[in-house]
Amino acid sequence: MSSGQSLPCRILPGPMHGVTEGSFLRAMSSRGWVQCWWTPFLRISTAVPRPSRLRNWLKPYLDTGLPVIAQIMGCSSAKLAAAAQALHAIGCLCVDLNCSCPSATVIGNGSGGARLQEPPWIRDTLLAMRASCPGKAISVKIRAGFSSPEELPGILAAVRAGAPDFVTLHYRCVSEMYKPVPEGWRRLKLARELLPELPLLGSGDLFTTADALRMRQQCGVDALAPARGLLANPALLLHIRQGCLGKEAPPLSKLEKLRFLRDLAEPQPASASAPNGFLLRFCAALLGPDSRCFQELLKRPRLQECHLYLQEQSEL
């Protein structure tokens, strides 16, 4: 990076809104399953948040003791640059510009993936962030286009001119959302050809170690950022690291899965009576919606009740 640093690691947890927060941070960090954190996006809209608010937002990530990449999105280059400066002052390793989110709400606000329709804006915003953060790391996450992958070369030219420290490419277009894209890896290969000097992170459908190794070998990416794959295998990042060393990691046992779910449900002062939708999502991915555990959690709508049940099950 411009400050002489490198990527915090080569296998990073892709940010997931509604997942990469709270008890997930604690459960993953305590097991050594992750080497850094990448926050879900913070939208910078009418004004740059006060330092106290930014500090509170970053605190759960910084408290893990791991390097933190803070992701922001918005429409104002000046405000995003000011936010990047403030976040670096608080202690994050890198500030990442989100130009990839396909959410209809985000697109409707003109941010996230909507910015791909204006490649010069991406260039100018990255340059503004760089000017506000001399010697600090900035990055950008993009998709292969807004409506068509034919847009990718123009987007990459703008990214290259913006000189980020690294770029993450999710190989789908915004219009493709999360639909299957058979030729998706060709887009990553094209990005590798057009950005030979920039560290390139690959993203999209990394559900297994085999998926990750194939993407690395066939697309020439420098690093990988699995996201949704962590729902079904929260140890995926560790398993990929071991796979890169030629080692085969055993799958998580049922007991390990139950204990992970138990830790996800661990009540905090503000969450003991919170609903269990977050936990159910993980349980369905880890054990299946037809599993006894999932059915039992359905009967317990609050996290505290779920934690007691999972505590009993993990001690059997």
Q: Give pLDDT tens digits for 2-32.
A: 433 558 999 999 999 989 999 999 999 999 9
Q: Give pLDDT tens digits for 227-249.
A: 999 999 999 999 999 999 999 99
Percentage of residues of the chain with pLDDT beyond 90: 92
The reported pLDDT for the residue numbered 7 is 84
Report, as an integer, the average pLDDT of 77-101: 98
The reported pLDDT for the residue numbered 271 is 64
**How many residues are present in the chain?**
316
Query: Quick check: 170 and 203 in contact, CB under 8 A?
Result: yes
Residue ranges of the domains in the chain?
A: 22-244, 254-314
Distance in angstroms (rounded) separating the CA atoms of residues 136 and 96? 12
Q: Give pLDDT tens digits for 166-216.
A: 999 999 999 999 999 988 999 999 999 999 999 999 999 999 999 999 999
Query: Quick check: 287 and 305 in contact, CB under 8 A?
Result: no
CA distances 244 to 91, 106, 222, 230, 271, Å, are 30, 36, 12, 18, 38
Q: What is the DSSP letter of 66?
A: S
The reported pLDDT for the residue numbered 3 is 39
| The pair of three-digit structure tokens given for residue 212, joined into one six-digit string | 């990750």
Q: Give pLDDT tens digits for 264-300.
A: 999 887 666 678 899 999 999 999 999 999 999 999 9
Does CATH place domain 22-244 in 3.20.20.70? yes
What is the average pLDDT score of the chain? 95
Distance in angstroms (rounded) separating the CA atoms of residues 85 and 129? 8
